[in-house]
Structure 1
Amino acid sequence: MTLVVGMPASLSGQFQAQGRQALAGILAWERDANAETPNAFRVLHHDDASDASTVREATRRLIVDDQIDILIGPYSSVLTSAAAQVAEAHGKLLWNQGGASDDVYRQGYRQIVGILTPASRYLTGLLPLVRQTDPSATPIALVRASTGEFPKAVCSGVAGTAEGLGFRTVLDLEFAASSADFTDVNGRIRAVQPDVVVMVGRVRNDLALARILAESGVNAGAVVAVAAGIQAFQDDLGSLAGRFVGPSQWESGAHYQPDFGPTAEQVIASFRRDGHQTVDYPMAQAYAAGIVVQKCLEEAGSPDNQALRDAAARLRFSTFYGDFEIDAETGRQIGRESLLVQWQEGRKVIVWPPSLAQGRLVYPWR
């Protein structure tokens, strides 16, 4: 029996770059899984247009009209939250590969399994990394988009660990996600002379703010942009991207040791067969969702939603993407930690955690 795997995918709109990567990831997994077991899976997708109302309809269509067996979530927290509402209403298990916001796990949903590290733990290693590099670092500036749960969760995660490590938040600033001019934000950051700057917005926000910070020569020890974890950051900023730090859910150089599924080298080779020379984490985590589904199917012995949810709650294993373990009650991923990368001489270098680091944090930033 061929299992139909459905996915709302952002092929247009603001999330289309990551949405297309996620779709490429799940399609590569489909091909590789079927090479191992012919006709095991068939992927079906609909464009969600990076829009919450559209993703609700796309999710409903997949569940009700297409009668899919497996539902893979979209990219982005706002779209995942919308898809999860529909999935829960229809009793369909959602495999969350692209929505990092913690908020989706606070709704009491039973039909969700998290693949990626939640937003509140995106920058878990940042302040320990800075502290071991600079024992005197203290002031932190947190700058985030006012829209959505994701920016708030990332910054709250940093703020929550700051005092215990001897840091102090001196600026906690929100900006409109529609902003294009960050002159005032840049001035506010410069005025407080922070040792650490964390900025979290939409990709275009991060790029615009990173550019003005770099061009204006803000003095800081470490400057973090969530978008710095993807290749597009370097492609857009060029040499200005140097020394920016960003979180990454996965990097090819991390060398996790899988006890289920292909190695990272095999996954990368699969992507390259499709012409993808650069593999960012949105592509990898969608592929990883397919691997996790396979393992849970093997454990459950059935595509039944409850059987799969129970299997996911029991299992602890590792894939090329890292460790998998969920909180049995909420479905939240608790088994893995995000990486921190820094752009050094035109390439991403893993600087955290120490066990996977490829190099040291270059400090100060400017």
Structure 2
Amino acid sequence: MSSSLTVALVTPLTGPAAAYGLATLRAATLWARDEQLPLPWDDVNVTAYDAYPHPAAAMRSAAAAEPDAIFGPYGQRSALAACAATDRVVFNIGAPSTRFVRQAFPNVVNLLSPHSTWTRGLLAAVRAADRRARKVTVLVASDDRALEVVSVVRAAATRLGFEVTSSVFRPGRAMIAARRLPPADVLIVQGDPDDETAAAEVLLRRPWRAAAFSTAGHDDALTTLRNRRDGLLGPRAWSPQLPAATGTGPSVSEFVAYYRRMYDQLPAATAAVAYTAGLVLGRCIRANGRADDRSVLAAARTLDTSTLLGRFRLDRATGLQVGHHSHLVQWQDGVARVVWPANRAQSPLVYPRSRIGVAGQQRTMTAS
């Protein structure tokens, strides 16, 4: 006897993060259309629950419907509240954080590596370009991510021979804190888009050899800086322009084509993560022919595969995603180009920042 696999998607459908939530819903719906499961399932049914403004209540409503699987919400605070409200297995599709370690959330399946780990790639890229750089200064908002970001930076800096100075600011006061930052070779800023833009207005007047902002990897971030954005570095969880070999599901180009055909727009990274969550769920079900939480979680913990998002592999001790890694992009001639890791780079890192205009002229001369 055939039946539908039921998936509950807890995601913001209204409120300030609605665009991200709607992107995850579109992608989950596309995956449900494409997924081919073994019997007894003949199709997949996705039901969305609005995580705004009460993610815990939305999660309780989703769990009460007894779906086969649950995908969790966008945003760290929402995801923490939602995952704490249930003992069901939740695929974490929108909150890449070290907070979701197995010891605290034993039933969470993390799709992305923790967001803060992008700073490791940044410092590695700088060290590869400059053996003499020594000082790093970090400006970070006093939110849920502050301690995580500073801890990751300090650990990576110690390993690579950097000295770190950190400064924490209250949201809305980034410009004041920026004026007080000491000089350094490398600047790292972590905050919301408005705070990072305010800090940039002050900080980009200074001669940092490398400057990185956590939102700079997004095409719609820091747009008011215009051409001053050139040279900035930032993380990008996924890029539709970078091909990747896949062992599970469609290639990047195939997914982009499917998504554009269905919705007449390019998929955002949040859509790629939600679609990948479905691919991983399907792979786990096919591994043992069961869709119960215990079987799916056991399969996910041992799964090692490649998807359109990159490699999927959970750390056995922490449950954090260690297969996937964010790309480091740099704005060059008005375009965000992947510059790290080197084996996936679309363009060499321009270093120091002061060379960005010279590098652009050289590319123009080469092209002509």
Q: TM-score, normalised by structure 1?
A: 0.89
| Secondary structure in structure 2 of the residue aligned to 1:108 | coil
Structure 2 Cα separation of the partners of residues 28 and 36 of structure 1? 18
1:322 equivalenced with 2:322 (yes/no): no
* Equivalent runs, 1:13-92 vs 2, <5 Å: 13-33=15-35, 40-49=43-52, 51=53, 54-64=54-64, 66-88=65-87, 92=88
Write the deviation string for residues 115-159 of structure 1: whole angstroms up to 9, x where unpaired. 1011342222111100121222111111111111x2331232111
* 1:210 aligns to 2:209 (yes or no): no
Q: 2:175 is matched with which residue?
A: 183
DSSP-derived class of the 1:342 partner: strand
Aligned partner (choices 2, 5, 15) of residue 3 of structure 1:
5
Tell me by how many angstroms 1:235 deviates. 4.5
The structure-2 alpha-carbon separation of the partners of 1:329 and 1:2, relative to structure 1 and needing over 3 Å to count, comes to: farther
SS in 1 for 2:119: coil
Provide structure 1 residue ranges, at least 5 long, that are not aligned to the other structure.
none
Could you tell me how far 1:165 is from its partner in structure 2? Answer: 1.4
| Residue matched to 2:146 | 151
- Mapping 1:296-311, distance limit 5 Å: 296-311=284-299
Are the counterparts in 1 of residues 230 and 333 from structure 2 also a CA contact under 8 Å?
A: yes
Q: 1:332 aligns to what SS in structure 2?
A: coil
Aligned residue type for 1:22? T
Query: Which residue among 231, 235, 246 is the counterpart of 1:247?
Result: 235
In 1, Cα distance between equivalents of 2:284 and 2:290? 9
**Runs of 4+ that moved beyond 6 A:** 34-38
Q: Can you list the C-alpha shifts for 1:319-352, whole angstroms capped at 9, x where unaligned?
A: 1111111123542212222211112122221111
Partner of 2:344, secondary structure, is coil
Equivalent runs, 1:126-205 vs 2, <5 Å: 126-148=122-144, 150-170=145-165, 172-177=166-171, 179=172, 181-189=173-181, 192-205=182-195
Measured in 1, the distance between the counterparts of 2:258 and 2:251 equals: 11
Q: Which residue of 2 aligns with 1:285?
A: 273
CA distances 1:55-112 after superposition (whole Å, capped 9, x unpaired): 0000100110x22211001112221111111222xxx110111111101215433211
Identical-pair percentage: 29
Q: Deviations over 1:150-202 (max 9, x none)?
A: 233123211111123121113x111122x0x533222123xx22211111112
Residue correspondences, number: 351
1:99 aligns with 2:95: yes
Q: Which amino acid aligns with 2:179?
A: G
Q: CA RMSD in A?
A: 2.3
Q: Which residue of 1 aligns with 2:109?
A: 113
Residue pair 1:230, 1:280 contacting (<8 A) in 2 also: no
Counterpart code for 1:9: T
State the secondary structure of the residue aligned to 1:228.
coil
Distance 2:148 2:191 in 1: 12
CA distance in structure 1 between the aligned counterparts of 2:45 and 2:227, rounded to whole angstroms: 42
Identify if the C-alpha distance between structure 1 residues 344 and 23 changes in structure 2 by more than 3 Å, giving closer, same or farther. Answer: farther
CA shift, 1:273, in A, is 1.9
In structure 2, stretches of 5+ residues that fail to align are 355-368
Q: CA deviation at 1:211?
A: 4.0
Q: Residues 142 and 198 of structure 1 are in contact (CA less than 8 Å); yes or no, is this contact kept in structure 2?
A: yes
Structure 2 residue matching 1:229: 3-state secondary structure: coil
- Given that 2:102 and 2:317 are in contact with CA atoms closer than 8 Å, whether structure 1 keeps it comes out as no
The one-letter code matched in structure 2 to 1:60 is R
* Structure 1 CA distance for aligned equivalents of residues 288 and 81 of structure 2: 27
Hey, what does 2:336 align to over in structure 1? 348
Per-residue displacement from partner, 1:236-293 (whole Å, max 9, x unpaired)?
5432322211112111233221011100001111221244544332221111111111
- Secondary structure of the corresponding residue to residue 3 of structure 1: strand
Specify the structure having the higher radius of gyration (Cα). 2
In 1, distance between residues paired with 2:188 and 2:328? 13
Q: For 1:208 and 1:278, how far apart are their aligned partners in 2?
A: 29
The amino acid of 2:168's aligned partner reads E
Q: Secondary structure of 1:291's match?
A: helix
Residue 361 of structure 2 aligns with which residue? none
**Distance in 1 of aligned mates of 2:313 and 2:233:** 27
Structure 1 counterpart of 2:169, which letter? F
